[in-house]
Structure 1
């Protein structure tokens, strides 16, 4: 989508980017966002590194932010629930405060901002879907019902199943992504490891992780 972004917005300068960690320092925890969204009807889940910690049942490392995902058509319900905060759309190094419908349609990442402090609280991804069917942004032929990809922690916080979290992390393989892979893989079931292997073979067929003997396809 980024190649079709509308004009406007503010380009993030190197100084702006350097300042972002401080602006995320007060971000919510998974339990806090779950309290904020209690009772919403649209499916949503914690994504990325926090989702893996929810799967493991303990925080294993520091997180720079908190990411959740919702079906794009369900975003208005999230926005209405959190209407006392501001939403900024983000894409390709630009940020749009109070974005127009055109900007929202052309981007998929939205940062929730506390208007009093300027700090960011949660990163909301607006995901492709077809009704109650989740569509993988990495490969739109991968489609599953939300009920199959969303798990819940002991506290009832919804999170993305680890095999899908690792699929998204596989694109960049930053040090933290490799650390997450090594920490989570031993705790995944054989079926989850099989699914991850099949997804990687489909989306990233030359990926280094496929050489791991625990991911050998049957």
Structure 2
């Protein structure tokens, strides 16, 4: 992590996320951008399910690192703060952005955070998993869309990221989405879990699908 950055009180941080956007709000502002982007994490699973299943404290999207500037330019009224290891670098410069992965979009007028941007590694049109660089897929293979056209990360990848250190909400997300996964999606997720998290408890449940 780069030097500096501020540690924010958890209660203050929760208050600053109180006005987090919904996926359709981001999609409206990013309509027509050339860089591939998608909703990730819990909201992505709800888009896959076709409805909101639980409250969400924030909204996260992913973009190729090289496409971040195009996304940033759609929000001239906002600042982008880099985040990492529990610290926040407000209005992060190029060096801080290069050393971090997450970026929170902050409304300059209110100081509230609206959504989180993951700047993902890639090679051209190929996405690279930041936890295992051998996992590489074309963007059109990892992004699905709702009937309204909102792009979201395919559920097997969302669950792969949630599997590392699953919290109660991650377990609930897995339980809710598992009945909706095709056998093909289950097999793909099982293969990734076996490679990255051998012996993971979700493997047994996936095998029964």
**Interval containing the TM-score (normalised by the shorter chain):** over 0.9
The answer to whether the aligner puts 1:108 opposite 2:104 as a matched pair is no
- Equivalent position SS for 2:73: helix
Report what 2:207 is aligned to. Answer: 215
The answer to whether the aligner puts 1:129 opposite 2:129 as a matched pair is no
The answer to whether the aligner puts 1:76 opposite 2:69 as a matched pair is yes
Q: 1:11 to 1:20 in 2, by over 3 A?
A: closer
Report what 2:6 is aligned to. Answer: 10
- Equivalent position SS for 1:125: strand
Per-residue CA deviation, residues 129-173 of structure 1 (Å, 9 max, x unaligned), is: 111000011211000000000000111000000000000000111
The answer to whether the aligner puts 1:185 opposite 2:181 as a matched pair is no
- Cα displacement (A) at 1:216: 5.7
CA distance in 2, matches of 1:50, 1:164: 13
Query: What are the ranges of 5 or more consecutive residues in structure 2 without an aligned counterpart?
Result: none
| Contact 1:197–1:216 under 8 Å retained in 2 | no
Report what 2:48 is aligned to. Answer: 55
- Cα displacement (A) at 1:20: 1.6
Q: Normalization by structure 2: what TM-score?
A: 0.97
The answer to whether the aligner puts 1:23 opposite 2:16 as a matched pair is yes
| Contact 1:196–1:215 under 8 Å retained in 2 | no
Report what 2:113 is aligned to. Answer: 120
CA distance in 2, matches of 1:209, 1:94: 32
Q: Where do 1:83-98 residues align within 5 Å? A: 83-98=76-91
The answer to whether the aligner puts 1:38 opposite 2:31 as a matched pair is yes
CA distance in 2, matches of 1:160, 1:205: 23
Q: Normalization by structure 1: what TM-score?
A: 0.93
CA distance in 2, matches of 1:130, 1:93: 29
Runs of 4+ in 1 over 4 A off after TM superposition: none
Task: Return the match for 2:152 from 159, 174, 185.
Answer: 159
